[in-house]
Structure 1
């Protein structure tokens, strides 16, 4: 199934099972489920269904202590994809006979098999990633996971290669879910989801009734995010003094012109980083930052994470080459 650009409202719902292991990473699971919930909301119908599963169907404790109810794996409803979610205690589970037997069994089924974060090494152990490209987190130095030197690893936050889905951790899970949904229901569904999120986090600003000079300034800022201009030059361009401009921003937006301009540039930088097509120094320079160090400080203050944590989150290609055609059902 090729990647669809437009949303296909009649496409069947994707059926996803999340196979939890004891002490699984709750944050990673939540980051996987939220895009699915939002997709159903934006589409106005069920474009995906999910089940929370485990080997025995008992309640499991996440690594943060939250208890989650599960259904027995062998009693799961029909699935298009099964994704394993583990935690940091991987070394205690790699030699469990029942677990490995089930991994072997599901790897032979004509559905997609995936893993989030460290659980990807469980797929590697049973040979489920042989012949597939995959994205895995770096193993602990004390572990023996480095023995899997035949794996075809890719330097990307996530990878979808035919019937295998892998990602490096909780921040990459969102991109993995977006890619899965896009390849089934079209890229426009993901764009609709992103627009919905953008509306939710944008503060209410009554700019439609704002003074004409303020609206001119906002437009000028939006048009010069890559090639930034000094505030005084923009004020002069629209025929207003810097002092008057400061008052307009404080009264209508609650911040200074320079603060608002910085926020817009950081949002632009975030989009460039997530595209996976630009290096951090290039993004910093093109968004008007005098140095990479200054960019990192501003970015961490605004988003709460290092810029590298957002690099390639929306990556749709590996090494500049499109991923192979993907089918949830192996077609």
Structure 2
């Protein structure tokens, strides 16, 4: 005859109550819009934050448009409603979105300093880095800005380490900056990956329709015509380099084909790109190699040879010196990121 289970046995057979799912962390994002703000960089920030909130469960990123007065701000053909800076949310990050000629009052600059003292991360978008620099919040930090503003800012704010890269982010991820155009997408993908792992970066890349996010070491592409103070000779030299990555041309040969002396070519590169031609050429080849390591199934040796390196060790040494990891490390990290389940943080 079967006996009913005892109370103790029944307790063992009863499944434990389900634990409530942990609520996602709320990370409020303020977007400070100044006169002249451009739509494309602003849209990149908004889109990336919206998709990040959808694609992972750890945090959500609600956004609020801010302006000094709280009045609507004109952005291209759109009029955007904003809140005043007196809105007292505990911000996780504030993006300063501005363009050439944007000005900030002393009240705005002081408000930004107060956010910094409160531990809020600050990001300059398009020309927004100029505002952060004026507030004294980028001293001794690497920062970038839309390329045509670089030369003037280097003179006005010499305590900032200005670069011509697409984006910059410090080790604490609390000072960020990017150029104009779609560079805000590249910056946001990298910044969000710091919190949520490389898998989210992959998902964002697909969801946002980005062919590939540009790394921090990639320089801004200057227009080939002289609309921003560039040089036709420089544009011609860059085209030659990009067309000859597998068999790099000596600097003297590039200068000869462009029709300038080697000294003149070096002066052009230093003036507009803050690099020697040979160094810039090497970076082009290494960045192409990095894309191939991440996106193709070619062997490491094939990739090295196709990017102008004479042997496997030559490629590996140059790659490690530039990216602080070997080509094999690069490919292993990418493979591990794809294998890791969504939402799982990267291994330390």
TM-score by length of 1: 0.55
Q: Which residue does 2:50 correspond to in 1?
A: 37
Q: Work out which of the residue numbers 43, 47, 69 in structure 2 matches 1:56.
A: 69
Aligned-residue offset at 1:73 = 1.6
Once residues 80 and 22 of structure 1 are traced to their aligned partners in structure 2, the CA distance between those partners, rounded to angstroms, is 23
Specify which structure has the bigger relative contact order, considering alpha-carbon pairs within 8 angstroms and separated by 6 or more residues.
Answer: 1
Aligned-residue offset at 1:158 = 0.7
Once residues 86 and 282 of structure 1 are traced to their aligned partners in structure 2, the CA distance between those partners, rounded to angstroms, is 33
Aligned-residue offset at 1:275 = 8.6
Q: Work out which of the residue numbers 145, 154, 167 in structure 2 matches 1:136.
A: 145
Q: Is the 8 A contact 2:41 2:125 kept in 1?
A: yes
Once residues 135 and 25 of structure 2 are traced to their aligned partners in structure 1, the CA distance between those partners, rounded to angstroms, is 31
Helix, strand or coil for the counterpart of 1:75? coil
Once residues 141 and 110 of structure 1 are traced to their aligned partners in structure 2, the CA distance between those partners, rounded to angstroms, is 27
Once residues 153 and 141 of structure 2 are traced to their aligned partners in structure 1, the CA distance between those partners, rounded to angstroms, is 21
Q: Work out which of the residue numbers 195, 205, 213 in structure 2 matches 1:184.
A: 195
Once residues 215 and 140 of structure 2 are traced to their aligned partners in structure 1, the CA distance between those partners, rounded to angstroms, is 28
Aligned-residue offset at 1:167 = 0.8
| Structure ID, larger Rg | 2
Distance change (3 Å), C-alpha of 1:280 and 1:108: farther
Q: Mark the runs of 5 or more structure 1 residues left unpaired by the alignment.
A: 1-8, 202-269, 289-307, 323-331
Aligned-residue offset at 1:166 = 0.7
Once residues 213 and 85 of structure 2 are traced to their aligned partners in structure 1, the CA distance between those partners, rounded to angstroms, is 40
User: Could you give the per-residue CA deviations for residues 45-104 of structure 1, whole angstroms, max 9, x where no partner exists?
Assistant: 863221111122111112x131001112221422111111112322xx15x222222233
Q: Which residue does 1:260 correspond to in 2?
A: none
Q: Which residue does 2:180 correspond to in 1?
A: 169
Q: Mark the runs of 5 or more structure 2 residues left unpaired by the alignment.
A: 1-21, 220-237, 248-283, 292-319, 326-348
TM-score by length of 2: 0.52
Q: Is the 8 A contact 2:143 2:176 kept in 1?
A: yes
Distance change (3 Å), C-alpha of 1:77 and 1:277: closer
Once residues 273 and 181 of structure 1 are traced to their aligned partners in structure 2, the CA distance between those partners, rounded to angstroms, is 14
Helix, strand or coil for the counterpart of 1:166? strand
Once residues 275 and 119 of structure 1 are traced to their aligned partners in structure 2, the CA distance between those partners, rounded to angstroms, is 18
Once residues 136 and 318 of structure 1 are traced to their aligned partners in structure 2, the CA distance between those partners, rounded to angstroms, is 26
Q: Is the 8 A contact 1:25 1:87 kept in 2?
A: yes
Q: Is the 8 A contact 1:136 1:168 kept in 2?
A: yes
